[in-house]
Amino acid sequence: MALNSKVALVTGGSRGIGASIVRRLSAIGADVSFTFVASSDAADTIVREIEQRGGRALAIQADSANVSDVRSAVRSTVETFGRLDILVNNAGIERPGLIFDYSIDDLDESLAVNVRGLYVATQEAARYMQPGGRIINIGSISSEFMPIPGHAVYAMTKGAVASLTRGLARDLGPRGITINNVQPGRVDTDLLRAALGPLAEKARADVAVKRFGTGDEVAGLVAFLAGPEADFVTGASLKVDGGASS
């Protein structure tokens, strides 16, 4: 139970990779809050699961594109559990499309959720974290590997996440807070299948291990970075991609 007495906040934690992270952090001892936008039934199910196992969880409806919502989610976590030790910036969206007709609205929304929302959550969480705090961003191998047209904006936002992680390691390090970037590859989620559509099977064939990853496999790396054994790891971008980008 490496995270006993720790409190974590996971943005976008009601489904997909985020839900796997919420469950994993709870399983190793953390009290966990998580945000969701619309999937209230899924969020309630996760809370019940955790409480039935004797854990504590809080679901917070919050849109990562809304600055006030993000700040409020951080404050609600601290008010409910008394502290904040771990932030996992998982919330993200993808709006595929070629640049020739890509709308400014889609561009702004992608930047608002994938970059600005992550930045605001990190800024707010850092106000409450003590030495030993952990910030873990969920980026993507798309930041440096994009073999499919129509995903340039998503790749750009995830490149920003990787760069921000490196820079903030210098800002946060003197306070004893680490920040790292987990870069999943082709993980079998609703987001992946919606983004790739008919190209999903080709993407699976391009993975070195010839399968999609699972949310639990990403959550395992997040759990390591959240724990005491990762105290000397910061500013890193770490791939979980089955060799897709090799």
Give the CATH number, domain containing residue 202: 3.40.50.720
Indicate which residue of 102, 119, 128, 154 is catalytic.
Answer: 154
Tell me what the mean pLDDT of segment 177-202 comes to.
81
Examine the pLDDT at 198 and tell me if it is beyond 90: no
Tokens coding 89: 């910036």
Alpha-carbon span 71 to 121, nearest angstrom: 6
| pLDDT tens-digit series, residues 93-136 | 999 999 999 999 999 999 999 999 999 999 999 999 999 999 99
CA nearest to 87, candidates 51, 45, 35, 162 = 35
C-alpha to C-alpha distances, 135 to 84, 129, 153, 169, 179, nearest whole angstrom = 11, 10, 24, 10, 5
Alpha-carbon span 134 to 220, nearest angstrom: 15
Q: Using 50, 70 and 90 to split pLDDT, how confident is the model at 192?
A: low
| pLDDT tens-digit series, residues 71-89 | 999 999 999 999 999 999 9
Alpha-carbon span 176 to 226, nearest angstrom: 13
Is residue 246, in this structure, part of any structural domain at all? no
Is residue 80, in this structure, part of any structural domain at all? yes
pLDDT at 212: 86
Is residue 39, in this structure, part of any structural domain at all? yes
Tokens coding 99: 């640049």
Examine the pLDDT at 44 and tell me if it is beyond 80: yes
Does residue 159 contact residue 115 with C-beta atoms inside 8 Å? no
Examine the pLDDT at 199 and tell me if it is beyond 90: no
Does residue 110 contact residue 157 with C-beta atoms inside 8 Å? yes
- Tell me which residue range forms the domain holding 166: 7-240
Alpha-carbon span 60 to 79, nearest angstrom: 13
State the chain's mean pLDDT as an integer: 94
Examine the pLDDT at 39 and tell me if it is beyond 90: no
Q: Using 50, 70 and 90 to split pLDDT, how confident is the model at 227?
A: very high
Is residue 1, in this structure, part of any structural domain at all? no
Full-model pTM: 0.94
Number of domains in the chain: 1
Examine the pLDDT at 200 and tell me if it is beyond 90: no
154 catalytic residue (yes or no): yes
Q: Using 50, 70 and 90 to split pLDDT, how confident is the model at 195?
A: low
Tell me what the mean pLDDT of segment 194-210 comes to.
77
